[in-house]
Structure 1
Amino acid sequence: MQNLQTMEEIDAFINEHELTLLYISKVGCSVCHGLLPQVESLLLNYPNIKTGHIESTQVPEVAGRFNIFAVPVILVFVEGKEYLREARIVHMDLFEEKLNKIYKNMVG
């Protein structure tokens, strides 16, 4: 996952890639740090998804930009538009089903 540290980097990252996943977390969030390895492992099956990690304490304006009220948050963008959002408690099997549908529609 690429670390994104400014809103400019985040916007460019979303717009430069067809399929993008952003993982937004916070320092000291045990749920955030426990979920991240599971998401990274799952993404090995989806090589065409570009992934970025945002530490919300480093980029506080990310909360307002994406209407985030709790972390962790996973946002999936297709051609710059948000298609999937998972927040707080993420059920990995359901998330994988949704992600798989999006991926198959875009990649085949």
Structure 2
Amino acid sequence: MQSLHAIEEMDSFLQTETITLLYISQPNCSVCHALLPQVEELLEEYPDIQARHMDASEVPEIAGRLSVMTVPAVLVFVEGKEMFRKARFVPMGELNQQLAKLNHFINE
């Protein structure tokens, strides 16, 4: 998953892609490191969903901008509007169901 390093990069990414997933983590978060490969593997099933990673310690203003209170956080947007989010302990089955519904709805 590619990384974004500035709020401006995030804004541009969210506005230029139809369905986007933003994964926010911090380096000292063991849950973040365990969850990232699972999310990347899940996204292989959804080639139309573009994903990026942001490090909240590198871009601390992301927390205030997106109201992220804990990491890891998985935020999904459609045309720049947030559709849903999962944070801290992300149930992969539930995330998969929501991505499948969203992908089906958008691509129909």
- With the shorter chain as reference, the TM-score category is over 0.9
Q: Partners of 1:94 and 1:74 in 2: how far apart?
A: 12
| Pairwise CA distance, 1:99 | 1.1
| TM-score using structure 1 length | 0.98
Q: Report the secondary structure of 1:31's partner residue.
A: helix
| Pairwise CA distance, 1:28 | 1.0
Runs of 4+ in 1 over 2 A off after TM superposition: none
Q: Report the secondary structure of 1:27's partner residue.
A: coil
| Pairwise CA distance, 1:31 | 0.1
Q: Report the secondary structure of 2:58's partner residue.
A: coil
Q: Report the secondary structure of 2:90's partner residue.
A: coil
| Pairwise CA distance, 1:35 | 0.2
Residues 1:18 and 2:18 aligned together: yes
Q: Report the secondary structure of 2:101's partner residue.
A: helix
| Pairwise CA distance, 1:41 | 0.2
Residues 1:52 and 2:59 aligned together: no
Q: Percent identity over the alignment?
A: 49
Query: In structure 1, what is the equivalent of residue 103 of structure 2?
Result: 103
Query: In structure 1, what is the equivalent of residue 87 of structure 2?
Result: 87
Which residue type is aligned with residue 9 of structure 1? E
Q: Partners of 2:94 and 2:19 in 1: how far apart?
A: 19
Query: In structure 2, what is the equivalent of residue 31 of structure 1?
Result: 31
Q: Report the secondary structure of 1:71's partner residue.
A: coil
Q: Partners of 2:37 and 2:9 in 1: how far apart?
A: 23
Which residue type is aligned with residue 30 of structure 1? S
Q: Partners of 2:107 and 2:51 in 1: how far apart?
A: 16
**Structure 2: runs of 5 or more not aligned:** none
- Alignment RMSD: 0.6
Number of corresponding residues? 108
| TM-score using structure 2 length | 0.98
Cα deviation, 1:3-27, whole Å, max 9, x if unaligned, reads: 1000000000000100100000001
